[in-house]
Structure 1
Amino acid sequence: MKVLLLLVGILLHVSLQVSAVEMFEGEFILMSCEFPTFGVDQPTVVWTRSNLSPSIVHQRQTDGDELKDQNQLYRGRTFMKPDALETGELTLNLTKLQVSDTGTYTCTVRTSIGERTSTEERRVTDIELLVKERFPSWAIALLVLLVLVLIISAVLLYHFWKYFMPG
């Protein structure tokens, strides 16, 4: 019996897809999650980030998006295909990435069991997202200023070269 439980635990662990992605702020990401929803009764997909409260990033049910419990950091920035639950392609599109979006995103599928209203949850995918800051605008401005100072200094040095040379 213990061997069977250990084997089931290993299979569940192996079936969970985990990936890591690095992106820059301002970009968008498609976080892939696939689950065969054909023949599943009333499936719901929930994308979450456990270190947030509320933890829901996006939730899709058979009748459409359910975003009333969505974390406000993601309002207007998440999208899933309308036919996601029919095709099993549960990819989440997250736009206008921010450094604060860094974290682990989990795709979970909830399904109804039998005639009762009980549900079963299956954690399908974990995606670790690291959002990096682009080269800061103040650093770009400083570099441009430095280049301009060097160019102006070179022009002035060339122009007044005859005054520095003896003879």
Structure 2
Amino acid sequence: RHVDSKKMSFEKVHSFAMGENVFEGAESVVLPCQYSGILPERNPAVIWRRYDLKPQTIHLRREDEDDLRGQHQRFSGRTSMKSDALDSLDFSLTLRKPHLSDSGTYTCIISDDREEVRVTDVQLQVKVKQVEVTVQEGVESAVLPCKTAAYMEEDDTVEWTRSEPEFMIAYVYQNGSNKAKEQDKSYC
């Protein structure tokens, strides 16, 4: 099972992106990664990364324990791997309480602290459950519910859109106020 780390770069083990879909509010989602290559002889580790984030590390598993010192704070307390991952070669990552902002491409990597080999990419899409609201025509107003557990940055934008009968922007909220210039006239 072990091999000299110099040979590691010649392994052709990378598989292309698979898709995982989950609704926000689910208990957890598993990002699959089954390794069929040979482990490095020294300091083998599995790293899950998202290259669009800083820091990029989502989870790092060494032979005997997790090393979460460099983990992105958004994922603190929400990630886990099997304790025998480096023996079973099942590098799947469990992500608890997925948020909308968890959507993205996650990369599973095997490393020996000097060199890294990309094993697989997993595309995760976290969706919002669709809610149907029925009202009588002519009523004063209707509430369209939307709650999220997502981590929101100060400059994030919330956008309400309508897809039928044609695409329209109903409301855009950013930096504490409505951006009326982007709103369709019928909703002003």
TM-score range with shorter-chain normalisation? 0.5 to 0.7
Task: Map 1:118-157 onto structure 2 (within 5 A).
Answer: 119-136=114-131, 142-143=133-134
Structure 1 stretches lacking a partner, 5+ long: 1-10, 113-118, 150-167
1:139-162 deviations in Å (ceiling 9; x for gaps):
x5x43x76xx9xxxxxxxxxxxxx
CA contact (8 A) 1:106 1:127 kept: yes
- Is 1:32 matched up with 2:27? no
The answer for the alignment partner of 1:60 in structure 2 is 61
CA contact (8 A) 2:55 2:70 kept: yes
**After the TM superposition, which of the residue ranges 31-40 and 76-85 deviates more from structure 2?**
31-40
CA contact (8 A) 1:44 1:110 kept: yes
The answer for the alignment partner of 1:96 in structure 2 is 97
Q: CA deviation at 1:129?
A: 0.8
Structure 1 pair 89/60, CA: closer, same or farther in 2 (3 Å)?
Answer: same
Which residue identity lines up with residue 72 of structure 2 in the other structure? N
SS of the residue 1:64 aligns to: coil
CA contact (8 A) 1:37 1:88 kept: no
Distance 1:58 1:15 in 2: 19
The answer for the alignment partner of 1:16 in structure 2 is 15
TM-score (norm 2): 0.60
CA contact (8 A) 1:106 1:124 kept: yes
Q: What percent of counterpart residues are identical?
A: 37
Q: CA deviation at 1:55?
A: 0.8
User: How many residue pairs were aligned?
Assistant: 125
Give the strand-richer structure, 1 or 2. 2
Q: CA deviation at 1:135?
A: 2.4
Compare relative contact order (CA 8 Å, sep 6+) and give the higher one, 1 or 2: 1
Q: CA deviation at 1:64?
A: 0.4
Give the helix-richer structure, 1 or 2. 1
The answer for the alignment partner of 1:161 in structure 2 is none
Q: CA deviation at 1:41?
A: 2.6
Which residue identity lines up with residue 122 of structure 2 in the other structure? I
Q: CA deviation at 1:17?
A: 3.4
Task: Map 1:108-127 onto structure 2 (within 5 A).
Answer: 108-111=109-112, 119-127=114-122
Which residue identity lines up with residue 16 of structure 2 in the other structure? Q
TM-score (norm 1): 0.66
4+ residue segments displaced more than 3 Å:
36-40
Distance 1:71 1:120 in 2: 21
RMSD: 2.3
The answer for the alignment partner of 2:143 in structure 1 is none
